């Protein structure tokens, strides 16, 4: 932006402070100082100062005006000093004009520049900011219903999506320091590069607030690792989809639900973060039901499945810390989950009895006679967690108890045993078989404070043949 040398002022007629100090601008001009005045809302204001019309806000935007009045000193095209609002001594000191503000109050706070009006920063960024958005624009006809247009183009998951206008996408991008054109991940099944901008577009469509975007980006990074294997998870005929478990300060800061109904509806962050990940896989990676997605049944979690762990009320270390994230950092853990199996135990008052209940219910994940290939998440409610807290059981102690209870004689689990053809290979008949592989059972604390119920999120094929849980820190 080329500014004239001398003094440059930005004002608006609707600002009481600008109205009050307008005589000072006239005094500055009369003193012979080179002065250029840009008016944001009235090309005739202030009278006598020969204002230039900046109602389109181009100059204000390019100079970065946030407060009116603003006074700049410009030398050889460069801004060397800046004053915001009215402080008489500073205006007189900067301009060298004595009694510049004679008869005026010594101080008045300025008003917000029109460049900061609601929605205006995004409009100006599109209009004058060099257009940092690179995605293809899709024009919708004037009489075309934009929501129906997005359905028809295949961008939706069966529910309405928010139109990703340029203003909304730019507002979303304000929540991250990452370059909009940075590639976050290569998204299967079509192996398409997903930039921060593309992720932001789908976050808008999912209904995310801008402050959710860093969590979406971390989830996307985790999902597209070879360990998590989102391609295989998408292509399997099993019912599973990605489950996003959030830990750390970000969960509370963006208002995520870790309490009552944490695995259900009603919380915007929970609902839209998981949905944004699914929309990215659909719209960027090309993973759609009936195409690569061949799930026999699917599950409602394939719309969205995201919740936070209740760390404040937990008797144990957070899942993210257990998985190697530093204490106090924000992180997401991606798990390939097939749905929720609630469990009830309203009678157990000892950790041993309650652990037996957990183990008995966990045996049925996938099939009671199948083991080692299926992971699970055990979501322990506050009322059940209290039993372990009062007994002094650490998470490791509970896990040890469960591992013992979940190990069964292979003779009971091989194919044909119990009159059931399904089961483990005959070679395991003489061995003791654990239900879960090492690290295959995740334990988190979440849920309402009333109700002696917990929940199991069954998994998918694990390890090299399927998916590993993956934890990634959230970059804010």
Q: What is the pLDDT of residue 89?
A: 94
Chain centroid, CA 24 distance in Å: 48
What pairing do the DSSP bridges indicate for beta strands 241-247 and 306-308?
A: parallel
The pLDDT of 149-170, averaged and rounded, is 94
With residue 26 as reference, give the H or E element that holds it: helix 16-30
Q: Is the pLDDT of residue 142 over 90?
A: no
Global confidence as pTM: 0.85
Chain centroid, CA 15 distance in Å: 37
Q: Is the pLDDT of residue 143 over 90?
A: no
Q: What is the pLDDT of residue 164?
A: 95
Tell me if residue 451 falls in helix, strand or coil. coil
**Max alpha carbon distance in the chain (Å)?**
104
Q: What is the pLDDT of residue 126?
A: 83
Digit-coded pLDDT (tens) for 106-140: 999 999 999 999 989 888 988 887 667 888 888 88
Q: Is the pLDDT of residue 469 over 90?
A: yes
**Average predicted confidence (pLDDT) for the chain:** 95
> What kind of architecture, by CATH, is found in domain 6-117?
3-Layer(aba) Sandwich (3.40)
Closest of 261, 466, 296 to residue 376, by C-alpha: 466
The pLDDT of 51-70, averaged and rounded, is 96
The pLDDT of 158-185, averaged and rounded, is 94
Handedness of CA 375, 335, 227, 399 (dihedral sign): negative
The pLDDT of 213-238, averaged and rounded, is 97
Do 164 and 131 meet the contact criterion of CB atoms below 8 Å apart?
A: no
The burial of 139, by beta-carbon neighbours within 10 Å (0-12 exposed, 13-18 middle, 19 or more buried), is given as: exposed
Digit-coded pLDDT (tens) for 375-403: 999 999 999 999 999 999 999 999 999 99
d(CA 9, CA 70): 6
Q: Is the pLDDT of residue 288 over 70?
A: yes
Name every residue whose Cβ is closer than 8 Å to that of residue 228 and which is 6 or more positions away in sequence: 222, 242, 334, 336, 467, 468, 469, 470
DSSP secondary structure string for all residues of 319-363 = HHHHTTPPTT--EEEEEEE--EEEEE-SS--SHHHHHHHHHHHHT
What pairing do the DSSP bridges indicate for beta strands 441-445 and 374-380?
A: parallel
| CB atoms closer than 10 angstroms to residue 182 | 13
Percent of the chain whose predicted confidence (pLDDT) is above 90: 91
Do 461 and 238 meet the contact criterion of CB atoms below 8 Å apart?
A: yes
Q: What is the pLDDT of residue 101?
A: 85
| CB atoms closer than 10 angstroms to residue 76 | 6
Place of tokens 């004239």: 4
* Alpha helix segments (H runs only) across 101-240: 120-128, 146-152, 166-173, 196-206, 213-223, 230-235
Domain boundaries, the chain: 6-117, 149-473
Q: Is the pLDDT of residue 324 over 70?
A: yes
Q: What is the pLDDT of residue 292?
A: 92
Closest of 367, 347, 369 to residue 357, by C-alpha: 347
Closest of 286, 129, 271, 272 to residue 213, by C-alpha: 272
Of 464 and 379, which is predicted with more confidence? Answer: 379
The percent helix, strand, coil of the chain (3-state, each to 5) is 35, 20, 45
**Which tokens hold the place of 44?**
């005739």
Categorize the per-residue pLDDT at 95 as very low, low, confident or very high, splitting at 50, 70 and 90. Answer: very high
Digit-coded pLDDT (tens) for 335-378: 999 999 999 999 999 999 999 999 999 999 999 999 999 999 99
The pLDDT of 34-48, averaged and rounded, is 95
Q: What is the pLDDT of residue 57?
A: 96
DSSP secondary structure string for all residues of 391-426 = HT--HHHHHHHHHHHTEEEGGGTBTTGGG-S-SB-G
């Amino acid at each position: 932006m080329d500014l004239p040398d001398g003094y440059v002022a930005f004002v608006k007629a609707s600002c009481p402070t600008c109205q009050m100090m307008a005589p000072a601008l006239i005094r500055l001009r009369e003193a012979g100082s080179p002065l250029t005045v840009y008016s944001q809302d009235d090309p005739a204001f202030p009278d006598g100062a020969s204002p230039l019309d900046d109602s389109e806000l181009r100059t204000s935007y390019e100079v970065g005006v946030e407060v009116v009045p603003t006074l700049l000193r410009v030398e050889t095209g460069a801004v060397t000093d800046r004053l915001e609002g009215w402080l008489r001594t500073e205006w007189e000191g900067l301009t060298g004009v004595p009694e510049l503000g004679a008869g005026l109050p010594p101080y008045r706070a300025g008003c917000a520049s029109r460049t900061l009006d609601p929605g205006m920063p995004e409009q100006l960024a599109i209009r004058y900011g060099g257009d940092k958005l690179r995605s293809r624009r899709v024009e919708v006809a004037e009489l075309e219903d934009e929501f129906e247009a997005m359905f028809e183009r295949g961008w939706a998951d069966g529910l309405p999506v928010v139109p990703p206008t340029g203003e909304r996408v730019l507002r979303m991008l304000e929540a991250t320091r990452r370059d909009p054109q940075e590639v976050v991940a290569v998204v299967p099944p079509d192996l398409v590069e997903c930039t921060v901008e593309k992720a932001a577009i789908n976050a808008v469509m999912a209904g995310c607030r801008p402050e959710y975007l860093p969590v979406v980006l971390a989830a996307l990074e985790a999902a597209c690792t070879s360990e998590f294997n989102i391609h295989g998870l998408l292509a399997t005929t099993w019912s599973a989809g990605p489950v996003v478990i959030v830990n750390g300060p970000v969960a509370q800061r963006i208002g995520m639900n870790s309490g009552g109904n944490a695995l259900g509806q009603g919380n915007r962050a929970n609902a839209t973060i998981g949905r944004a990940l699914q929309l990215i896989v659909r719209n960027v990676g090309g993973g759609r039901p009936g195409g690569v997605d061949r799930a026999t049944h699917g599950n409602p979690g394939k719309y969205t499945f995201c919740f936070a762990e209740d760390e404040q009320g937990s008797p144990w270390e957070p899942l993210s810390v257990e998985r190697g994230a530093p204490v106090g950092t924000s992180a997401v853990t991606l798990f390939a989950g097939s749905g929720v199996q609630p469990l009830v135990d309203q009678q157990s008052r000892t950790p041993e009895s309650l652990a037996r209940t957990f183990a008995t219910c966990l045996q049925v994940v996938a099939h009671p006679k199948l083991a080692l290939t299926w992971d699970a998440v055990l979501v322990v409610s506050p009322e059940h967690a209290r039993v372990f807290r009062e007994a002094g059981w650490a998470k490791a102690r509970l896990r040890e108890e469960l591992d013992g209870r979940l190990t069964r004689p292979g003779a009971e689990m091989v194919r044909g045993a119990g009159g059931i053809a399904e089961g483990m290979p005959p070679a395991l008949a003489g061995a003791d078989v654990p239900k879960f592989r090492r690290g295959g059972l995740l334990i988190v604390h979440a849920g309402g404070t009333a109700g002696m119920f917990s929940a199991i999120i069954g998994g998918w094929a694990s390890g090299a043949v399927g998916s590993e849980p993956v934890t990634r820190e959230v970059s804010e």
